[in-house]
Amino acid sequence: MSLETSPKCSAYWPDVDPPVAPREDHRSEQLGRVRVDPYAWMKFIPVSGARTWDSLPSRLREHLAAEMDYARHVLEPLDADVDFFYERLTKRALRSSEPLPSLSDGWYYDAQWPAGQVHRVFSRLAPDGPVQPLVNEAERAEGHAYYRATGHQPSPDDRYFAWAEDIRGDDRHRLCVLDIDTGVLRTVVDTDAFGYGGFTFSPSGRYLFWIWRDEHSRPTRLYRTPVEGGEAVLVYEEQDPALFMQIARTAANGFVALSLIGPDVSEVHLIAADAETTFPRLVWPRRRGVRYEVDEWNDTLIVLTNAAGADDRKLVEIEPRNFTERREWVPHRAGRFIVSVRPFAQALLRVERVDGMPQVVLMYPDGRENAIAFDDPAYAIELAPGQHYDAERVRVVHQTPSTPARWIDVRLADGTCEVVGHTTLSDFDSAAYRVERLQARAPDGATVPITVLSRRDLPQDTAAPLLLAGYGAYGVPFEPVFSLPATVLVDAGFRYAIAHVRGGSEKGWHWYQDGCREKKRNSMADFIACARHLLDNGYASPGQIVAHGVSAGGLLVCGAMNQAPDLWAGVIAQVPFVDMLNTMSDADHPLVPLLRPDWGDPLSDPDAYDHMARISPYENVRAAAYPPVLCTAGLKDDRVPYWEPAKLIANIRHHSTAKNPAVLVLDTESGHQQSDDRDSEFLQAALLWAFARHCVRSAAGQQE
């Protein structure tokens, strides 16, 4: 599909006047520093209850309505391109997938999208039996403007099936349990549960352990509720708002593990399977700078930790009674970051990152090891969830930017691999694409990996429009996974690239440390260096690169936009964290206490205040010719509230010397994530790709 302009789609943006947000200086004094925020009035937190469109102050509602109307007018000429991308996304959509490995007693649990449906149907089947439906999400979503479910899991005895669902868009879940034997469905927790790693069955299957969110949306309490109904019992309450809570059973079903996690500290409490109603036992007390995770392997406990300077982590065995260290299974090896471990009776499987790429290692009780590597230029691997401890084969999910997920069974006895299934797509051929791994040079000399996806029939020495994505925060790597929307964009003449900037952990823990707090500027310098490397090496021409970031990735791309506004044909920032200094100065924000080790504390540390003031995208908008910008926002988002992108958009319009549009696309029903159905996902991707395509057309038109 050509990117050239046509009578149906002008190269230029509509001549529509944007809303002009009033500038009302709000003065703050902090640590001897003064800042003035002209758009502070856009922030609205209701006294009680969820934020809704009707609860907004009339003045704010009128302004946001004007923003939505402006967005409709500016984006309306893109309708033909939106339809183009949406049609190709739906045509290529997943048709089938392989079921997960059996969990116990021969049961397989699976999720499918029936033909023509946008929601999943969960079911289970035995190798010699019929399919048994469990949950039809289309039925659960009926009548709700928003629906997103997560955490689907069977009980250890396969009697029950549980999941968390959000029907309001604010990440406050209710927990549902289906009695598979009787067909009775119970809502065990009505609201305020935490669904993302926030609940699990007890080893006996009689109880549901679940985490409650407080009025600030922070997970702070662990409860135990009988599955068959009954009062919730408080098991543990955390007073430190800087710690995040997660709950899970250990590998051999011997314990329930409550993990309290911060960026630079952690603590684990265990509840034994033979004492489910007792209070948890503390493994190691929290100590600043030390993080650890606990699991079990062959009647003992193992700990993955960074203690004693093991930045890329080591694996040790501890005594189950008093938790003292027994032996070191895997020593710390700088440059070989241990991503995760999964114990099985026959072998312990670990995923570690070597030279930025993951590999699987099987370790046996006698200490022998068997490494399983992959030779793709860029790829991602993960372990299929919920695998049985006594399994003889472990299922690994492998994918690349050009190859959809395929399931590989690894025989634990000898490491033999067998591909047992793969994702099926319509009108798709992996061989039609090329994946490359490049290295850019940052200003300080660091080498920054770039993953590039192109059409194989596009010559490598031919420049093309390019979408450059990045994240770079919290030590979370931007994995080079398969993205159906990315392939559709590439088919339309683009290249799709991922900048693996500092702030993630793609090259080990130091890669994360070199991109947070006072070193956060490195992330943006890396992103700009990646864009320039792609230009210098002919992958794109000036005016052809569109930046794309989500959440903390929005901080990355909007910070890079401020530093080099002329480098980008356009910028797409989804639910972007861009009002950094103001947000990190709000002690009541759900995530601020937790994330201070990542960003710093501008309430107590002058140096942290100053470095945030220098990079926060909102504060650093300046008089410059800004490219077209599109920000998305969810009205009910507590993680990155709508006012962050709304304020950024207003500030860009006030300062920009160009006439390019700055657009806010606001969803009044969603939070940090949109509703979990294919139509919502594909429609948003189609809009973003249409915007990217028009940005390149517009840049080309301005150069003529």
Query: Cα dist. 678→173, 346, 469, 632 in Å?
Result: 21, 39, 22, 18
Residues 96-111 pLDDT 10s: 556 666 666 678 888 8
Among 68-82, 89-103, 144-158, 266-280, the range scoring the smallest mean pLDDT is 89-103
Beta bridge partners of 317: 302, 327
**β-pairing verdict for 424-425 and 94-96:** antiparallel
Whole-angstrom distance, CA of residue 336 vs CA of residue 355: 8
Residues 66-86 pLDDT 10s: 999 999 999 999 999 999 999
Whole-angstrom distance, CA of residue 249 vs CA of residue 226: 17
Contact (CB, 8 A) for 595 and 520:
no
Residues 536-561 pLDDT 10s: 999 999 999 999 999 999 999 999 99
Q: Using pLDDT thresholds of 50, 70 and 90, give the confidence band for residue 129.
A: confident
Per-residue pLDDT, 334: 94
Rounded mean pLDDT, 440-452: 98
Rounded mean pLDDT, 589-596: 92
Residues 6+ apart with CB under 8 A from 96: 112, 423, 424
Rounded mean pLDDT, 674-686: 91
Contact (CB, 8 A) for 294 and 250:
yes
Per-residue pLDDT, 112: 86
Per-residue pLDDT, 206: 97
Per-residue pLDDT, 2: 43
- What strands lie across the sheet with 403-411, from one edge to the other? 380-383, 393-400, 403-411, 417-422
What does the block give as tokens for 111? 């999720």
Q: Which amino acid is at 381?
A: I
Per-residue pLDDT, 1: 37
Query: Cα dist. 168→50, 146, 173, 522, 534 in Å?
Result: 9, 6, 9, 37, 42
**pLDDT for 666 beyond 70:** yes
Ramachandran angles phi, psi of 307, nearest 5°: -60, 155
Query: Cα dist. 173→43, 94, 671 in Å?
Result: 25, 27, 13
Per-residue pLDDT, 29: 96
Per-residue pLDDT, 10: 59
The alpha carbon dihedral of 24, 27, 28, 33 has a sign of: positive
> DSSP states of 372-413 as a string?
E----SS-EEEEPSS--TT-SEEEEEEEETTEEEEEEEEETT
**pLDDT for 6 beyond 60:** no
- Which residue, chain included where needed, has tokens 């003529």? 704
Helix (H, G, I), strand (E, B) or coil at 599: helix
Q: What is the mean pLDDT of the chain?
A: 94
Q: Using pLDDT thresholds of 50, 70 and 90, give the confidence band for residue 5.
A: very low
What does the block give as tokens for 158? 């396969």
Helix (H, G, I), strand (E, B) or coil at 519: helix
Residues 378-435 pLDDT 10s: 999 999 888 899 999 999 999 999 999 999 999 999 999 999 888 889 889 999 999 9
Residue 356 buriedness (CB in 10 A; 0-12 / 13-18 / 19+): buried
**pLDDT for 589 beyond 70:** yes
Per-residue pLDDT, 106: 78
**pLDDT for 164 beyond 70:** yes
Report all structural domains of the chain as residue ranges with CATH numbers, in order of start. Answer: 50-90+428-579+617-703 (3.40.50.1820), 144-290 (2.130.10.120)
**pLDDT for 702 beyond 90:** no
Residues 285-314 pLDDT 10s: 999 999 999 999 999 999 999 999 999 999
Contact (CB, 8 A) for 459 and 443:
no
The rounded percent of the chain whose pLDDT value lies above 90 is 87
Residues 338-348 pLDDT 10s: 999 999 999 99
What does the block give as tokens for 480? 């080079």
Residue 489 buriedness (CB in 10 A; 0-12 / 13-18 / 19+): buried
Per-residue pLDDT, 96: 55
